[in-house]
Structure 1
Amino acid sequence: MKKFWTMLIWEKKIPEFLIFRKNIVNRILFTAAFALVFINIYAPFGVNTWYNVTKLELFLYSSGLILTGILVMVISRILMFQINKKHKLNYLQYGSWELTEIVIMAFVYTLLKVFFLHEKSDIVDDFVVSLQITALVVILPYIILTLYFSWQDKSKKLESLEQLKEDTNVKASKLLPFYDEKEVMRFSMLPSDILYLEAADNYVTIYFLNKQKISHYLLRNSLKNLGEYLSEYSFIRCHRSFIVNFEKVKLIRKEKDGLKLEIDAPTELIIPVSKTYSQEVLNEFVKTGS
C-alpha cells in the first residue's frame, strides 16, 4: 500500500511554477551565482588542493566551469520547456531530468579538466569528484529556489482567492432583493440585469436577462409597493402595469397612441407609456441626457 501511494505521488504532474520561463531563468542565474561564491569561499571537499591551484586560479577556473554549466542548464531547460508543452512532466520524470542534468555537467567538467588542464589522473576519480561538487553546488540552490517558488505560488493563489471572495461579497452586496406582500425576500439579482416589471392581478412578473436570454420570475406583490421601493434605483413607473429599468431604455418614440419605450434586449421589447406617466418619463429622459 505504501509503495502504491509513493508511486502515485511520483506520477503526479509537476506544478506550473517549476517550468515558468521567468523561474527557469532565475534558477539558472541563482545557481550560477551560488556555485561561484560557494566554491571560492568554502572550497568544498578541498577542491583547491585537489586541483592544486591558487585562489585567483580557482576563481578563474571555477568561473569558466560555471559558464559551461550554465550552457548545459540552458540547453537542458529549453528542451524541458518544449517537452513539457507537449507532454506534462510528472515528479518522477522531472527528478530524473534534474539528476541527469547534474551527471552531464559533472561529465563535461571532467572532460574539461582532462583535455584542457592536461592533468594526469584517473578519469573515474575525476568524474566522482566532479559529480560530488556539482551535486553539492546545484542541489542546494535548486531546493532553496523550489521552496521559494512554491511559497510564491501559494501566496499568489491565496491572494487570488481573497480577491475572488472580496469580489463575490461586493457583488452580493449590490444584489437587488425583491420581497413579497408579507415582506419575505423571494428573489434577488443585479439591477443591471433587470429589464422591466409587469403587473397582473395580485402578482408582478419580473423580466430579466439570464445568459443573454429573457427570463422571468413571478412575485406576489403589487406594482405600487415595488415602485416605491425601486424608486431609489434607476426604475421608473411608465404605465399602470409597467415599471422599466430606465438604464435599459435605448429609444423613446412618439406614436399616435402615445409614447413607446424600446428596451435593449436580445428580442424586440416595446413598453407603452400612459398619459399619466408620460411627463415623468420625459423628465427622466432629460435628466439622464444631461
Structure 2
Amino acid sequence: MAASDRIPDYLVGSHQLASTVVFSTLFSLVFILLISPYLRFVWFSIGLASQQSLMTIVFMSLVIVILALSKMVMYAIARKHTLIYFDYVMWCFGEVVLISLAYAAFSVNGIAAGVIPHPEEISFLKLFLSAMGFCLISLGVPYLLSAFFFAIEDKNNTIRLMSFGAITTDEAPSLTRDEKITLYDNSGSLKLVVSLSNLYYIESDDNYIKVWYQDSEGTLKQYMLRCRLKTVEESFTNSDLVRCHRKYIVNFGKVEMISRTKDGFAIDLGLGGIDPIPVSKTYEDNVLARFNSRG
C-alpha cells in the first residue's frame, strides 16, 4: 500500500468526525425542509404538531444515532489500523445504504400502522431507492464540504504553525550549529523549543502529540500539545525526524539500531525508559533505506 493511498488523519480524528456528524445533521434537516414538498416518496414534516412531525423527529434521532455509532467505530478502527481512501468512501457509502434501509423499513411500518400519512401504498424497494438518492445528497454534500474544510485547515496549520531551523538568540554564536525544533499548537502559540540533539521521538495521541526529549540534566521528559503528527511530518521533511508508524516520528540521530521482531521491525533509541518503537509496513522501506544510508 502506497503512503499516498492512506487517508489523512484529519478525516478520522475524534473532533473532525464529531463535527462531520453535527454538520451533516443540520444540513440534512435544512435539505428536508426545502426539498421534501417536491418529492413523492418523502413524508418528512417539521413544524406542525402532528404524528408526521413526531415521526420525522424520531427518524432523524435514529439517523443521528446511526451516524454517531458509525463514526465511533471508524475512529476505533482508524486508531489500530491504516485506512485508505477506498475504505473511507465505502464506509460512507455503507452509511447511506444503512440509513436508506432504515428509512424504507420505518416508512413501510409507519404507513401500515397509520402513523405516517400517505395517499398510496409504496413498495419497500421504491422507498429504498428514493432514500438512496436523497441520502447521497444530504450526506454526500456535507461530507465533501467537511473534508474540504479540514484539508484547508490542515494545510494552513502546516504552513503557519511549524518551522525548522535555528531560532533567533542573543547568545554568542557557537562553532557547531545546534538545530532547534520549534513547536506551536493549533492556535499558533509557541509551546516548545527543543534542540534536535535532545529530542528522541514524538508520539501521536489523537489530535495531540507527546514530545519525548532529554533536559539539561539528562532526564527524559514528555511535553504534550495540541497538534497533529501529520503536521510535524510534513513540516520537518528534510530533517532527521522520520515517520516510522502512524503513531510515531523518531529522531534518526538517536537511533542505535533497528531489529526484526515477530511483528516486524522495531527501532531502539538506546535509552533506558524508552521501549522499542514499532515500524509499520507502510513506512518500513523508507525507514530501512534511511537507516542504511547513514554514514
- Aligning the two structures, in what range does the TM-score lie when normalised by the shorter sequence? 0.5 to 0.7
Partner residue of 2:259? none
Query: Which of the numbers 74, 81, 86 marks the counterpart of 1:80?
Result: 74
Structure label with greater radius of gyration = 1
Distance 2:59 2:85 in 1: 29
Q: Is the 8 A contact 2:36 2:43 kept in 1?
A: no
Could you tell me which amino acid in structure 1 is paired with residue 104 of structure 2? T
- Specify the alignment match of 1:90 in structure 2: 84
- Is there any run of 5+ residues in structure 1 with no aligned partner, and where? 1-6, 179-186, 191-209, 214-290
Deviation per residue, 1:195-216 (Å, 9 max, x gap) = xxxxxxxxxxxxxxx8699xxx
1: CA distance, partners of 2:14 / 2:166: 32
Match of residue 253 from structure 1: none
1:61-76 to structure 2, matched below 5 A, reads 61-76=55-70
Matches within 5 A, 1:158-197: 158-161=159-162, 164-165=163-164, 168-170=166-168, 173-174=169-170, 176-177=172-173, 187-188=175-176
Task: Give the structure with the larger helix fraction.
Answer: 1
1:121/1:150 CA distance change after superposition, 3 Å:
same
C-alpha RMSD over aligned residues: 2.9
Mapped partners of 1:101, 1:54: distance in 2:
23
Give the aligned residue type for 1:64. V
2:80 is equivalent to residue 50 of structure 1: no
TM-score of the superposed pair, with normalisation by structure 2: 0.52
Counterparts of residues 1-290 of structure 1 (less than 5 Å):
12-43=5-36, 46-47=38-39, 49-51=40-42, 56=48, 60-118=54-112, 120-161=121-162, 164-165=163-164, 168-170=166-168, 173-174=169-170, 176-177=172-173, 187-188=175-176
The one-letter code of the counterpart of 2:136 is A
Alignment check: 8 A CA contact 2:24 2:143 kept: yes
Q: Provide closer, same or farther for how the CA distance between residues 160 and 42 of structure 1 changes in structure 2, counting only shifts above 3 A.
A: same
Deviations 1:99-158 (CA, angstroms, capped at 9, x unpaired): 111101100111000112326311111110011111110001011111001111111111
CA contact (8 A) 2:100 2:135 kept: yes
Structure 1 residue 27 displacement after superposition: 0.6
Residues 33 and 45 of structure 2 are in contact (CA less than 8 Å); yes or no, is this contact kept in structure 1? no
CA distance in 2, matches of 1:78, 1:101: 13
Instruction: Give the unaligned 5+ runs of structure 2.
Output: 113-117, 179-196, 199-213, 217-295
Distance 1:145 1:113 in 2: 29
TM-score normalised by the chain length of structure 1: 0.52
Structure 2 residue identity aligned to 1:15: P
Q: 1:141 to 1:98 in 2, by over 3 A?
A: same
Counting aligned pairs with the same residue, the percent is 20
Count, aligned residues:
172
**More contact order relative to length (CA 8 Å, sep ≥ 6):** 2
Structure 1 residue 42: Cα displacement? 3.1
- 8 Å contact from structure 2 (residues 36, 42) kept in 1: no
